[in-house]
Amino acid sequence: MKLERPKWPENKKCSAMITINLNAELFWLQLDPTCKDMPKTLSLGQYGMTRGVDRILKILEERGIRATFFTPGWVAEQYPDKLKAIVEKGHEIAALGYHHEHMALLSEEEQESAIKKGIDAIEKVCGVTPKGFRSPEGELTLDTLRIAKKNGLVYSSNLCDDDRPYWKDLGEDKILEIPIHWVNYDLPYFAFNYHPAFPAGQGRIANYTGVLNNWKDEFFGCHEYGLCYVLQLDPAAIGAPGRIGLLEELLDYIETFDGVWWTTGEEMYDYCLKNQQEK
């Protein structure tokens, strides 16, 4: 059976995106709001902003790769200089709510308020209007995507139902979905804390070589089938000095393949809109 292969610009064989979730302290605050009084736990997220982001930016600049940074509005307000540096390096800023809200637990009005507040904060700090939306950790609803689209967020990167961008039907509207997969996200491998316990059953920081092999195998498959490889990174995880080399080694590996279209979420949207690449 011949599987359908998406068409990429200039007859490239596959597409690839690096996406960074600037969770900062909000990942831990979402798990347990009492973390606001736990400086040790909050420091786990702060590390990503104070050290991890700069290491990622350096590698991306050396490779000439533009990435998409999904950013909660609160993080933009707390770390304005870091966000401005990301924009100055030519990267895309996309929306990640305002304060890491669990969208599925909110009313439509509350969701819209959070999304709008996040967009406004990014515009004020960065001087750019985000085009993409990723929901914070936790579930979302179709109403979440409808609200995002209504407020000018033209693509989503939230769902796991494909490995190609496609137009998600929202009823009276549609939004471009750029699917993601947990295997290509560093946080589930490396996030760890005793209190609040994460993972809840403990017993993980993953073996680095195993994680790298997973990412390589996933990229190989995407290249083989002509798909869209989306890597998700949290600077607090990948940005540690012993782990940033995983990103470098992965990029070294990808460079051995021909026909890779490195893109951002906004560029992917523009391409798919132009070509109406339907699922």
Tens of pLDDT along 54-77? 999 999 999 999 999 999 999 999
Query: What are the residue ranges spanned by the domains of the chain?
Result: 9-275
Over range 32-46, report the average pLDDT: 73
In the chain, the amino acid numbered 163 is D
pLDDT at 121: 99
Burial (CB < 10 A; 0-12, 13-18, 19+), residue 88, is: exposed
pLDDT at 198: 58
Specify whether the CB–CB gap between 247 and 56 falls below 8 A: yes
CATH 3.30.70.260 fits domain 9-275:
no
Q: Is the pTM of this model over 0.95?
A: no
Q: Per residue in 99-135, pLDDT tens?
A: 999 999 999 999 999 999 999 999 999 999 999 999 9
Confidence grade of residue 279 (pLDDT, cut at 50, 70, 90): very low
Instruction: Tell me which of 263 and 29 has the higher pLDDT.
Output: 263
User: Quick count: other Cβ atoms within 10 Å of Cβ 22?
Assistant: 26
The distance from CA 82 to its chain's CA centroid, rounded to whole angstroms, is 17
